[in-house]
A and B are shown apart, each in its own frame.
Chain A
Amino acid sequence: MVGPYRPVFDIQDPIIAVSCGNSLVFKTGSQRSECPTFINKVAPCRQACPIGIDIPSAFYEASKGNLDQALSIFLQENPLPGVCGRVCYHPCEVKCNRGEYDEPINIRSFERYLSDHGRVDIGKDFQIHSKKYKIAVVGSGPAGLSAVYHLARSGYRVTLFEAKPELGGMLRYGIPTYRLPRRILDREIKRIVSLGIETHPGMKIGKDLVWEALEPFDAIFLSFGLQLGSTLPRTEDSGDSILTGLKFLENPRKYSLGKPTQKILIIGGGNVAIDVARTLLRLRRGEGNCITLVCPELRDQMPALEEEVEEALDEGITILDGWAPYKVHQRNGKLSSLDFFRAKIIKHGSTGTLRIIRMGKETRKHRADKIILAIGQVLESSPLPLGIKVNMGRIVTDRLERTDIPRVFAGGDSIGCRAFVAEAIASGKMGAFAIACFLEGKEAEREFQDHQIGDAQGFSFNHFLNIPLEKPVDLRKVVTFDQINTIFFRESARNRPDQMEIAVRKKTFKEVTRGLKSLKMEDETSRCFKCGTCIDCEYCMDFCPDISILKKDGPLGLYSFDEDHCKGCGMCYVACPRHVIEMGREVR
């Protein structure tokens, strides 16, 4: 009796939900109102870098062991990683998101490490000499080197003129070897020149070659820097007892500065003053008793790099801050002492120029046998091509480094860019960009916006050259610290490089700071958040409740989402440690 009512279990028509298959039939995508977008963004370090180097991508490559690829990423924007890896003021590290978590990444040491350990065949990706235009670059400092590099990469025929017997400008004739060994500089210059640059060292325009010789060039980039050290009023002629820091640094051994008991006063608070002091110390085999640096700025206002000042103090240099010289005393026709007053630096409201003013009545006298002035530099007064305007000792250009003469551009210290190597390199890059736009008839202002990094002054030359990236990047979006999902990172200390012992280093011109050891470097590569750069961690795939993250194996290597099944829940967006994923309103 009961039998007929017993249901028969049929897998095709079961009485309960039972499945041996999958759930793709549920098109949960219809619930979606927002959808994820996957695109690489800019890290704050990159925005802060005047040169706009794609730092996180390089860290990502290095973390996989691809040092060559990592170096190549640096070389996309910066021809001088070995130089910058040693002397850059690393504004990138100041803005590093990791700095808000524990300590910033040691990006400068990373750059140095790559330049020392990576190998890149720089020319292989570029069609050198593919374009007919010829460009002259005058001056081979960081701005000039950067300009010829990026111009050559763009396919132009580039000729580089240098007044000094060797290329490098201030890198060679200004920065002491204990900060930048010459073999490093030579290596980098060699790499740049290998792009097919025609070089003419020892040829000073206006002296060895007339300006008119530049007529045949389609464009000219002036980057000859500021070659004259500023002098104090009424101190021009004091024999050889007063000289400029620039002259001294160009060939320190040439100047007879007497025994270590000869009292030397260095005037100035910038990097040149520090370089002079530390060079002098080394010439005196570490005897620094009679070397005194006096500057009008207070200690924390000194324009010199903080770390340089620290190292100088460590080495025993005396710094008298907040004093400005106002009177030179001579005895028997020889320099005897200087009078100083208490000084204060004020910024002029409208022009932004700095001025020294006297504070109170306090003065002090300081004995001096020699004075080295490091109080700024000016243009050499050699004639400039007709019509190029000069103002306050600087060539006048617009933001895109165009002078009033259509085919003449200028950059670097000559136009008054901030006196850092990175700024000069950025300036050379900008010049190359402006020249390319000029020659190709492109609207430079608008073009710049297409390649600008965040809201910074920097841009991506690689982007401008339209060189395909492994993953596309939105150059205008900068990842902030609060967009980083720090749950994936453990606190860890920044890795610092070793330095030569003070007692040893102050007697030698050998490099003070050593490179990071590879174990420490590996740790830094893993510490780096790689803000905005997809590293294929696939946490998005792990956390997606709908298994709707699709990995593309195509050339772009990008992830996307399964439109049929993504509910737009945003788990991937929250999980992404580096804010590659964003949620946006969906347009259907």
Chain B
Amino acid sequence: MRMFLTGNHAVAYGARLARPQVIAAYPITPQSPIYEKLSEWDGKRELGARMMRVESEHSAMAACISASLTGVRTFTATASQGLALMHELLHFASGMRVPIVMVNVNRSLAAPWSFWSEQTDSLSQRDTGWLQFYVADNQEALDTVIQAFKISETIFLPAIVVLEAFYTSHFMEPVEVPDQKKADGFLPPFQPLFKLDPDHPAAFNQTVTQSQYAKFRIQRQKAMEDALKVVEAVDKEYEDQFGRGYGLMECYRLEGAETVLVTAGTIGSTAKVVINELREKGEKVGMVRLRLFRPFPKLQLIEALKHVKKIAVIDRNLSPGQEGVFCEELKSTLYSSHNRVPVFGFVMGLGGTNVSPQHILKAFDVTESLNEAPLGPILSDGS
């Protein structure tokens, strides 16, 4: 069914179609409408899930981990400070290999207090062992939530699907909402490998020896590496059934491109307009919009960029004292490739400042005009 939905409501529909059994969350702007929509359905007894009201995001995550250990499908949503509060338990969740799916609506972190879009909250959780998807529009948000359950429950790692404050969360777009039967056909009930079971008592997550710990970490890394194939496979399966697929990244007009923009999220949508204009002028430009940040699709990225001459990265985030996180990760990946081209790291849109076509065009201009990339980051305050 085609509906006119905000990104938050698209997520709510996606979560509902996945039939989670436990939803534990705590409201926070700009994520609250997700929880409100799910609660509304719960009030009408249209939701099969048990909604848990908790006193904090920390508790929400603790509840999801425990629920998931009993063998049920779990979902939660948060943003910014809420995600930061969960941090400790994010490590727990991936360490305990519970396939929780969470939506995080990117929001700038305090201080100072702010509500607008910025990727620093989710990128700060880079090393917690969660899969991270960055989506560009509301349809992709819905589809990715459904996909994420299947991926997570296959490799037994939790996943975050990242939207952007107001750009996707509150912006309304036409969204194709699959019908439940079809969704059920794609996503069968969760089959846990192990669960808390009073009939078979066991201790979970007890102290381990040093070598046991190392072994579990290596196993998790292996699962992350496997996840790349699983994400591709699940996306392919989804595309077969629903007609929409996204891949690990979106490659836009890369044929013959010499200068390529690498970015993530909604900036990728805006950039398409700029690229189309430049292509019309005969400029050899293209774009890679990263969809999967963890695991980082290193091989696929090297392959996509192997013929380009220059790369411009636009990050809506900043690691203080270094540069944009996507830029840094890309550079680190390219170091292992044969095509070590200049990479221009632009940091734009901090605190939700607008990244307009003009800003993107300027980034292309700077990249074209210089032979060597400055050490960076190239900062813009949106003016």
Interface residues of A (CB under 8 A from B): 1-2, 5-9, 14-20, 23, 25-26
Stretch at the interface among B118-126, B165-173, B225-233: B225-233
In the complex, the chain B residue whose C-beta lies closest to that of A21 is B203
Contacts of B230 in A (CB 8 A): 2, 5
* A20 to B229 Cα, complex, angstroms: 34
Q: What is the 8 Å Cβ interface bit string for chain B, positions 229-241, against chain A (1 contact, 0 not)?
A: 1100110110000
Q: Supply 18 A–B pairs (Cβ within 8 Å), ascending by A.
A: A1-B236, A2-B233, A5-B154, A5-B155, A6-B154, A6-B155, A7-B193, A15-B156, A15-B193, A16-B96, A16-B204, A17-B205, A17-B208, A19-B203, A19-B206, A20-B201, A23-B206, A26-B207
Contacts of A26 in B (CB 8 A): 207, 209
Contacts of B208 in A (CB 8 A): 17
Contacts of B155 in A (CB 8 A): 5-7
Contacts of B237 in A (CB 8 A): 1-2
Cβ of B97 under 8 Å from chain A: yes
Q: Pick the contact of A16 from B95, B201, B207, B234 — CB < 8 Å? A: B95
Contacts of A23 in B (CB 8 A): 206-207
Contacts of B95 in A (CB 8 A): 16
* With A5-B154, A5-B155 as contacts: A18 and B207 at CB distance below 8 Å: no
Cβ of B369 under 8 Å from chain A: no
* With A1-B237, A2-B230 as contacts: A17 and B156 at CB distance below 8 Å: no
* Nearest CB of chain A from residue B226's CB, rounded to whole Å: 5
Contacts of A25 in B (CB 8 A): 209
Q: B residues 75-126 with Cβ under 8 Å of A? A: 95-97
Instruction: Please indicate which of the listed interface residues B150, B201, B203, B229 has the most CB atoms of chain A within 10 Å of its own CB.
Output: B203
Cβ of B216 under 8 Å from chain A: yes
Complex contact A15–B219 (CB within 8 A) = yes
* A551 to B32 Cα, complex, angstroms: 58
* Nearest CB of chain A from residue B146's CB, rounded to whole Å: 14
Main secondary structure of the interface of A (DSSP, over half): loop
Complex contact B233–A1 (CB within 8 A) = yes
* With A9-B194, A16-B97, A17-B204 as contacts: A2 and B154 at CB distance below 8 Å: yes
* Nearest CB of chain A from residue B221's CB, rounded to whole Å: 12
Contacts of B302 in A (CB 8 A): none
* Nearest CB of chain B from residue A36's CB, rounded to whole Å: 22
* Nearest CB of chain B from residue A546's CB, rounded to whole Å: 11
Q: Which 8 A-B residue pairs are closest in the complex by CB-CB distance?
A: A9-B193, A1-B233, A19-B203, A20-B202, A16-B97, A17-B208, A5-B230, A5-B226
Complex contact A14–B194 (CB within 8 A) = yes
Cβ of B371 under 8 Å from chain A: no
* Nearest CB of chain A from residue B30's CB, rounded to whole Å: 33
Contacts of A17 in B (CB 8 A): 204-206, 208, 212, 216
Complex contact B234–A2 (CB within 8 A) = yes
* Nearest CB of chain A from residue B291's CB, rounded to whole Å: 19
Contacts of B212 in A (CB 8 A): 17
Contacts of B209 in A (CB 8 A): 25-26
Contacts of A7 in B (CB 8 A): 155-156, 193, 223
Q: What is the 8 Å Cβ interface bit string for chain B, positions 126-168, against chain A (1 contact, 0 not)?
A: 0000000000000000000000001000111000000000000
Contacts of A5 in B (CB 8 A): 154-155, 226, 229-230, 233
* Nearest CB of chain B from residue A30's CB, rounded to whole Å: 12
Complex contact B229–A16 (CB within 8 A) = no
* A6 to B96 Cα, complex, angstroms: 16
Query: How many interface residues does B have (CB within 8 Å)?
Result: 29
* A34 to B133 Cα, complex, angstroms: 51
Contacts of A2 in B (CB 8 A): 150, 154, 230, 233-234, 237
* A209 to B109 Cα, complex, angstroms: 107
Contacts of B219 in A (CB 8 A): 15
Contacts of A18 in B (CB 8 A): 194, 202-205
In the complex, the chain A residue whose C-beta lies closest to that of B95 is A16
Contacts of B204 in A (CB 8 A): 16-18
In the complex, the chain A residue whose C-beta lies closest to that of B201 is A20
In the complex, the chain A residue whose C-beta lies closest to that of B229 is A5
* Nearest CB of chain B from residue A445's CB, rounded to whole Å: 55
* A23 to B202 Cα, complex, angstroms: 12
**A-B contact sample (7 more), CB < 8 A, given A2-B237, A17-B212, A19-B202:** A5-B230, A9-B194, A15-B223, A16-B216, A18-B205, A23-B206, A26-B207
* Nearest CB of chain B from residue A155's CB, rounded to whole Å: 59
* Nearest CB of chain B from residue A333's CB, rounded to whole Å: 100
In the complex, the chain B residue whose C-beta lies closest to that of A6 is B154
Contacts of B223 in A (CB 8 A): 7, 15
Contacts of B207 in A (CB 8 A): 23, 26
* Nearest CB of chain A from residue B205's CB, rounded to whole Å: 5
Contacts of B96 in A (CB 8 A): 16
In the complex, the chain B residue whose C-beta lies closest to that of A19 is B203
Contacts of B233 in A (CB 8 A): 1-2, 5
* A270 to B208 Cα, complex, angstroms: 74
* A2 to B216 Cα, complex, angstroms: 22
Contacts of B194 in A (CB 8 A): 9, 14, 16, 18
* A6 to B212 Cα, complex, angstroms: 21
In the complex, the chain B residue whose C-beta lies closest to that of A20 is B202
* Nearest CB of chain A from residue B255's CB, rounded to whole Å: 28
Contacts of B150 in A (CB 8 A): 2
Q: B residues 283-338 with Cβ under 8 Å of A? A: none
In the complex, the chain B residue whose C-beta lies closest to that of A3 is B154
Q: What is the 8 Å Cβ interface bit string for chain B, positions 180-191, against chain A (1 contact, 0 not)?
A: 000000000000
* A26 to B206 Cα, complex, angstroms: 11
* Nearest CB of chain A from residue B191's CB, rounded to whole Å: 9
Contacts of B202 in A (CB 8 A): 18-20
* A99 to B233 Cα, complex, angstroms: 79
Q: Pick the contact of B205 from A8, A16, A20 — CB < 8 Å? A: A16
* Nearest CB of chain A from residue B222's CB, rounded to whole Å: 9
Contacts of B154 in A (CB 8 A): 2, 5-6
Instruction: Please indicate which of the listed interface residues A1, A5, A8, A25 has the most CB atoms of chain B within 10 Å of its own CB.
Output: A5
* A5 to B224 Cα, complex, angstroms: 11
* Nearest CB of chain B from residue A470's CB, rounded to whole Å: 38
Contacts of B193 in A (CB 8 A): 7-9, 15
* A14 to B194 Cα, complex, angstroms: 9
* Nearest CB of chain A from residue B252's CB, rounded to whole Å: 26
In the complex, the chain A residue whose C-beta lies closest to that of B212 is A17
* Nearest CB of chain A from residue B188's CB, rounded to whole Å: 11
Contacts of B229 in A (CB 8 A): 5
* A443 to B237 Cα, complex, angstroms: 97
In the complex, the chain A residue whose C-beta lies closest to that of B236 is A1
* Nearest CB of chain B from residue A562's CB, rounded to whole Å: 16
Contacts of A15 in B (CB 8 A): 97, 156, 193, 216, 219, 223
Q: B residues 252-298 with Cβ under 8 Å of A? A: none
* Nearest CB of chain A from residue B190's CB, rounded to whole Å: 12
* A16 to B202 Cα, complex, angstroms: 12
Contacts of A1 in B (CB 8 A): 233, 236-237
In the complex, the chain A residue whose C-beta lies closest to that of B237 is A1
* A522 to B226 Cα, complex, angstroms: 72
* A156 to B282 Cα, complex, angstroms: 124
In the complex, the chain B residue whose C-beta lies closest to that of A27 is B209
Contacts of B226 in A (CB 8 A): 5
* Nearest CB of chain A from residue B217's CB, rounded to whole Å: 11
* A15 to B219 Cα, complex, angstroms: 7
* A25 to B233 Cα, complex, angstroms: 41
* A20 to B206 Cα, complex, angstroms: 11
* Nearest CB of chain A from residue B101's CB, rounded to whole Å: 16
Q: B residues 5-38 with Cβ under 8 Å of A? A: none
* A164 to B205 Cα, complex, angstroms: 83
In the complex, the chain B residue whose C-beta lies closest to that of A14 is B194
* A5 to B205 Cα, complex, angstroms: 23
* A218 to B212 Cα, complex, angstroms: 75
* A23 to B212 Cα, complex, angstroms: 13
* A14 to B233 Cα, complex, angstroms: 25
* A14 to B193 Cα, complex, angstroms: 10
Contacts of A9 in B (CB 8 A): 193-194
Contacts of A19 in B (CB 8 A): 202-203, 206
